[in-house]
Structure 1
Amino acid sequence: MKSTTEKIFTHPLGIMAAATGATFLWGSAFPMIKLSYAELEIGKEELFEQILFAGYRFMLAALLILLFMKLLGRNIGYQRGSLLGVARIGLFQTLLQYVFFYYGLSGSTGVQGSIIAGTTSFFQMILAHYMYASDKISFRKVVGLVVGFAGVVLVGVSKGTLSLQFGVAEICLLLAMFFGGLGNVLSKKESERLDILYMTSYQMLFGGLVLAVIGACGAGVMPFDFTWSAAWMILYLAVLSALGFVLWNTVMKYNKVGSISMYLFLIPVFGVFLSAALLEEELHLFVWAALALVVGGIVIVNRTKAVQTVARKE
């Protein structure tokens, strides 16, 4: 018999609400991180400050989830046998993803970062091919991959020219999306035996703690001059991480990777328009074309199963 949680997160409206909510939160992270850098005067080359800021964000997010668990009367103590699984997810979903993400975003615009974020769906699909027998790559998926990555390449085309501006920052963002996709697939595996709130909070605590230690080694424990605006920003980033990952990991637990991955196309959509609104970044022709290709590629990749299901019914 299905639990109440499973009924909610397997219902079409529940899936749509959870997945859309998570992707909106993640999309809003792009302009908010850029605004945080400006408020705290964190420069492009200040890598340790970037890593330290990320560490504080994810430790705070983990503590918020643990507090929520405590209010629900749930056990927040260590669960025997969970260390390796939680550490593995924390390594990829938090530590490695956000080391590359924070550095990459410091040298890129919010719009560019948002579009590149769409590649998470592609990486997740490729990894699922090797980790799940039911999620094999088909010709249609290959077409989607080519279309989507064409959009990522187009991100590097500067306004008004045909020259490519795809450098270290953009490569770091691609690596971040790869590690994020790997973390998502691993979290689905671990969620079969671990509670979602427990798994998400402790992987964030592990990843955030390591990030903070690395950052503190190079920048000190508190190199920032926190204003009220900066404090609000890091709180918002912590809340969006906590809520976003809980929603996403839960919906991933009860549904197939391929059927949920399509919603990841909303990250670049939300990210692009929120960056344009909050950072006043221009949406020129190349941006629109790149966004269209990335979204189109994700839709092509993830419509495969739906099309095949309809064909079998006919």
Structure 2
Amino acid sequence: MQIKKPIWSLTPVMVATAIFCCVLWGSASPAIKIAYELFGIPASDTASRLVLAGTRFVLAGVMTIIFGSLVSRQVLTPKIESLKYIGALALCQTIGQYFFFFMSLANTSGVRGSIINASGNFLAPIFAIFLFRLEKFEVKKLLGCFIGFFGIFLFLGGSSVLAGGKMTMAGEGAMLMAALFYAISGCSIKIFSKFENPVVLSGYQFTLGGIVLLGIGLLMGGSLSFTSMGCYLNLIYMGFISAGAYTLWGVLLKYNPVSKVSVLGFVNPIMGVLLSALFLGEESQAFSIVSVISLILVSAGIIVVNAKRN
């Protein structure tokens, strides 16, 4: 008797879902920059920026828990012993990463942010091999990291001439810090998921990290002014970006080989650049010679790092 394969393991469904996740993640940069305009948050208003980030991730956490519970057909709750894992992830993945991510996008373009943020895809395997000892040394992974980093360095070196504007620590530097925290949290969740459902870890760490960011922002005097329906819709969408993408990506990893899913991550920076061009009017940066070449190298690097060895 032939056993019917889960729908998520069918290649067309897997590819389409993975690309959809990448579209969601790629839309984060333009969505946040649009939010700054809708809520009237200037680059200097760190407190309100933290309130926005915190509110987004509280929503994302609640949505992730609800979506995950519906998919698993049971209410997802963490084990007591998993609280320390949730706290550690909240510190790295939400508080650390998105403090710098939101800071960066207040001080740089969506195109620049999308390309520089891709460095997390290359820091993660380096940390996994040399720091956390989670993976074996492979030449192809280091080759992929070299290709990707070369693309990013090319972009950093040439963007000031062809993409307009100089680099700053509050802009490009902050995005590199966000990528660093992304890499650490990626390795951490790989370790912690041995003891707890990764959707549970993501949902509850989003909520905890969001509460901390929101609390700090409010204590600093930050606030959000909901002046139009667009403010509400933007905030809900930003919450859905994380909740929908992480939940669906987790489902794909459950029913498919990790390398088969992860290799499609090259679509992420491409979507970030294209959507920034579409919604933020950054066509001159997105389609400059330096940006295109850098994006090709970054995408190639992600493919090489995640390609399955024969």
TM-score scaled to structure 1, two decimals? 0.85
CA contact (8 A) 2:162 2:288 kept: no
In structure 2, do the counterparts of structure 1 residues 188 and 13 end up closer, same or farther at CA, with 3 Å as the change threshold?
A: farther
Mapped pair 1:242 → 2:243? yes
Q: Which of residues 298, 301, 306 in structure 2 aligns to 1:297? A: 301
In structure 2, do the counterparts of structure 1 residues 294 and 57 end up closer, same or farther at CA, with 3 Å as the change threshold?
A: same
CA contact (8 A) 1:120 1:264 kept: no
Give, in angstroms, the shift of residue 44 of structure 1.
1.4
1:51 match: 50
Partner Cα separation in structure 2 for residue 7 and residue 185 of structure 1: 28
Partner Cα separation in structure 2 for residue 162 and residue 69 of structure 1: 41
1:286 partner amino acid: V
CA contact (8 A) 1:121 1:265 kept: no
Q: How many residues align?
A: 301
1:36 match: 35
Give, in angstroms, the shift of residue 67 of structure 1.
3.7
Mapped pair 1:24 → 2:23? yes
Mapped pair 1:110 → 2:114? no
Give, in angstroms, the shift of residue 65 of structure 1.
2.9
In structure 2, do the counterparts of structure 1 residues 183 and 10 end up closer, same or farther at CA, with 3 Å as the change threshold?
A: farther
Query: Runs of 5+ in structure 1 lacking a partner?
Result: 310-314
Partner Cα separation in structure 2 for residue 121 and residue 8 of structure 1: 28
In structure 2, do the counterparts of structure 1 residues 105 and 165 end up closer, same or farther at CA, with 3 Å as the change threshold?
A: same
- 3-state SS, counterpart of residue 45 of structure 1: coil
Partner Cα separation in structure 2 for residue 300 and residue 71 of structure 1: 35
2:109 partner amino acid: T
Give, in angstroms, the shift of residue 284 of structure 1.
1.6
Matched ranges for 1:1-314 at <5 A:
7=6, 12-68=11-67, 74-130=74-130, 131-133=132-134, 135-156=135-156, 157-158=158-159, 160=161, 165-168=166-169, 169-220=171-222, 222-252=223-253, 260-281=261-282, 282=284, 283-303=287-307, 305-306=308-309, 309=310
CA RMSD of aligned residues (A): 2.8
Deviation digits for residues 185-240 of structure 1 (CA, Å, limit 9, x no counterpart): 322332233234322211111110111111112124x3424421111101100011
In structure 2, do the counterparts of structure 1 residues 161 and 191 end up closer, same or farther at CA, with 3 Å as the change threshold?
A: closer
Deviation digits for residues 283-309 of structure 1 (CA, Å, limit 9, x no counterpart): 222211221221122223223x33xx1
In structure 2, do the counterparts of structure 1 residues 186 and 154 end up closer, same or farther at CA, with 3 Å as the change threshold?
A: same
1:312 match: none
TM-score scaled to structure 2, two decimals? 0.86
1:170 partner amino acid: E
1:224 partner amino acid: S
Partner Cα separation in structure 1 for residue 63 and residue 151 of structure 2: 36
In structure 2, do the counterparts of structure 1 residues 284 and 193 end up closer, same or farther at CA, with 3 Å as the change threshold?
A: same
1:192 partner amino acid: K
Partner Cα separation in structure 2 for residue 241 and residue 253 of structure 1: 18
1:292 partner amino acid: I
Give, in angstroms, the shift of residue 264 of structure 1.
2.3
Give, in angstroms, the shift of residue 81 of structure 1.
1.2
Give, in angstroms, the shift of residue 45 of structure 1.
1.7
Partner Cα separation in structure 1 for residue 281 and residue 152 of structure 2: 21
2:148 partner amino acid: G
2:189 partner amino acid: S
- Higher deviation after alignment, 16-25 or 31-40: 16-25
Partner Cα separation in structure 2 for residue 264 and residue 69 of structure 1: 22
CA contact (8 A) 2:97 2:182 kept: yes
CA contact (8 A) 1:124 1:184 kept: yes
- Higher deviation after alignment, 30-39 or 70-79: 70-79
Query: Runs of 5+ in structure 2 lacking a partner?
Result: none
In structure 2, do the counterparts of structure 1 residues 214 and 289 end up closer, same or farther at CA, with 3 Å as the change threshold?
A: same
1:74 partner amino acid: Q
In structure 2, do the counterparts of structure 1 residues 88 and 99 end up closer, same or farther at CA, with 3 Å as the change threshold?
A: same
Give, in angstroms, the shift of residue 91 of structure 1.
1.5
- 3-state SS, counterpart of residue 86 of structure 2: helix
1:278 partner amino acid: F
CA contact (8 A) 1:150 1:293 kept: yes
In structure 2, do the counterparts of structure 1 residues 137 and 54 end up closer, same or farther at CA, with 3 Å as the change threshold?
A: same
